[in-house]
A and B are shown apart, each in its own frame.
Chain A
Amino acid sequence: MEAATETEHPVSSSAAEDRLLVERAQAGDTRAFDELVRKYTPKLYGLVYNMTSNRDDTADLLQEIFAKAYRSLKRFMGKSSFYTWIYSISVNMTLNFLKKRGRYAKVSLDDVDSGIQNDPDFIKITTANRDTVREVNIHELQKRLNEALMKLSEDHRTVVTLYDVQGLQHNEIAKILGVSEGTVRSRLFYAHRLLQSYLEDLVK
């Protein structure tokens, strides 16, 4: 169950570096904020993209997220880490966006990185269950996975994205979402059960 422990921690040990950049940005150094944007764009892209499943929406929403973060930076007191703060902004803005967008979503999938061929997870899946998964090519797998994720509610998709894809810990997710760890665990449990049923033929 502790998938996050196996993955690379998203913030590594850069909290101090972030704090310095934030202080410089608060003092009016726009290049310092550019550094923060450069650093967090790939991580937040993954979060927003996996919640919206649309490339254009993700790019537009990310612009809005960083613009809002920049405008609110003066009010950031440093009580939480910058990454928790920016993740909270991202999750809230994405959930608001999804509510406005409703069900009329146009799904556009990103290309799969060629590195997937060497990924241990991908190799294990395609070798351990030869009878089922070998029939599925990468793009089919991507499509099935996205369809399954889009069937989840927004709250469930958010915790799955943060935990399984982004590799955050339960307590970090709880801070970002402003809920208890118990709620995070229960949402994850329910979401995993649903995904197992949607992807039954792939996971057996």
Chain B
Amino acid sequence: MSEFDNLQRIIRLKRFETPGEDFVEDFVARFRERQRSELLRQSARGLLWERMVTFWEDLVSPRMTMAAATTCVALVATWGALKINGSHQDASVPNVLAVTEPVPGTLSSQPSLAVQSELIREVEQGRQLEIEGILLSRHFDGHEAPVAAAEGVVGVSGDALPVSVELLPIDGLIR
């Protein structure tokens, strides 16, 4: 008997390591239990789906369902088309305003604003701006809010005032 034969014989003795007599039946029983519970879970989902479908079918007639579905599709399509159109328009605005123009001397000392070129155009046309955002930006940059301070440069539409003006302390307020 060679060393190699001996080795194989020793390895084959591993077959005698067994889990016990009842293992297989217990194992099959446990597996069956697990399998049935998985099937039941699947059945519960299927049952829920079936009930939802039935409920929907009972609620509306097939013709109404078709009409509702068509309306939904039309609404979604309209909304999508409007959104696409709107985004095209938004995209076109910066292109129009992005024309570089010389900055007038009256504005060279003004703080930098995001809508500078729009502001310049409005100034050149001698019109008042109605952009509250500009007013607030100027205020937070440390400038006092000018109410038509510079002629035709920046103004406040109507009676609107900067927010900080409204936040003055109120004397005599006792709670």
Contacts and interface: CB of A to CB of B under 8 A. Distances in A.
Interface of A: 1, 3, 7, 30, 33-34, 37-38, 41-42, 45-46, 49-50, 55, 58-59, 62-63, 66-67, 70, 109-113, 115-116, 119, 121-122, 124-125, 128-129, 141-142, 145, 149, 160-161, 164-165, 192, 195-196, 199, 202-204
B9 A124 contact: yes
B143 interface: no
B34 A63 contact: yes
A122 B13 contact: yes
A97 to B, nearest CB: 17
Interface string B1-41: 10110111111111111111001100110111011101100
Interface of B: 1, 3-4, 6-20, 23-24, 27-28, 30-32, 34-36, 38-39
Nearest to A67: B34
Contacts of A122: 9, 13, 16
B12 to A, nearest CB: 5
A-B complex: 8 closest residue pairs judged by Cβ atoms: A116-B16, A121-B9, A203-B6, A164-B11, A113-B16, A110-B17, A165-B14, A203-B3
B13 A145 contact: yes
- Give the secondary structure class of B's interface: helix
Contact of B17 (A41, A119, A142, A160): A142
B14 A141 contact: no
A165 B11 CA distance: 7
